[in-house]
Amino acid sequence: MIAMDADMTEAPEDPETDAGSLLSPDQLLAAIGGRLAGPLPLIAWARELGDLHAALIAAVLNPHRHPPARTEAALHTDIAKVIDKINSWAVFYVRHSRCARRHTHSFGEVISHVAKSYAEAWWTVLHADCDELRHSAWVHLGEVREGYAQLLGDIRAGRVQLPLGWRGIGHGRQNDSSFTDQESDGDEERQAAQ
């Protein structure tokens, strides 16, 4: 099970609990863009993911022009940490229906995907010279917004169950005490060769 932050409390078993704690599509986009404030931690996490994905775009597209304050790897790590926080929160605040079909992504991954799409759409609108490309960026963001809206409907109706999330192989290997020095040396040699 995913560890919960110390300041989080378990929500009561009430099917309407998520109705007040999940952000609507418009609220989510406003939170990602920094235009929504409120007591829900999801608002701050959505904004943080929006900022991290925007910083990642700059780090990837212009690494030499303006050296980023954080490396691409550090940004990916920070994004994973926020996704973990959202997943921990979702264990208690997102309705779980055991008999429902399984979704492929955790709630944190979904929010991160929306934030990434938002950051990429805005970057495209602000920096691309091609009208068609700017239009397709907005269309894609609209599709992502609609997909999120449909997912909320499915969650509230008990038609979908989201996985709890997984930090991936890299996280497990870093914390695995059986990871030997020999394996570590081999990884360092492979990275140096690349």
pLDDT digit string (tens) for 126-135? 999 999 999 9
pTM metric for this prediction: 0.76
> What secondary structure letter does DSSP report for 4?
P
The residues, any chain, with a CB within 8 Å of residue 63's CB and separated by 6 or more, are 72
pLDDT at 18: 52
CA neighbor of 146 nearest in space, from 22, 24, 52: 24
Q: Classify 168 as helix, strand or coil.
A: coil
Of the given ranges (3-12, 14-23, 144-153, 160-169), which has the lowest mean pLDDT?
3-12
Query: Identity (one letter) of the amino acid at 110?
Result: V
Q: Give the model confidence (pLDDT) of 72-96 as tens digits.
A: 889 999 999 999 999 999 999 998 8
| CA distances in angstroms from 61 to 58, 65, 66, listed in the order given | 5, 9, 10
191 vs 102, more confident: 102
| 150 contact partners, CB below 8 Å, separation of at least 6 | none
The mean of the pLDDT values for the chain is 80
pLDDT in tens, 37-74: 999 999 999 999 999 999 999 888 876 666 667 788 89
For residues 19 and 29, which has the higher predicted lDDT (pLDDT)?
29
Whether 188 has a pLDDT exceeding 90, the answer reads no
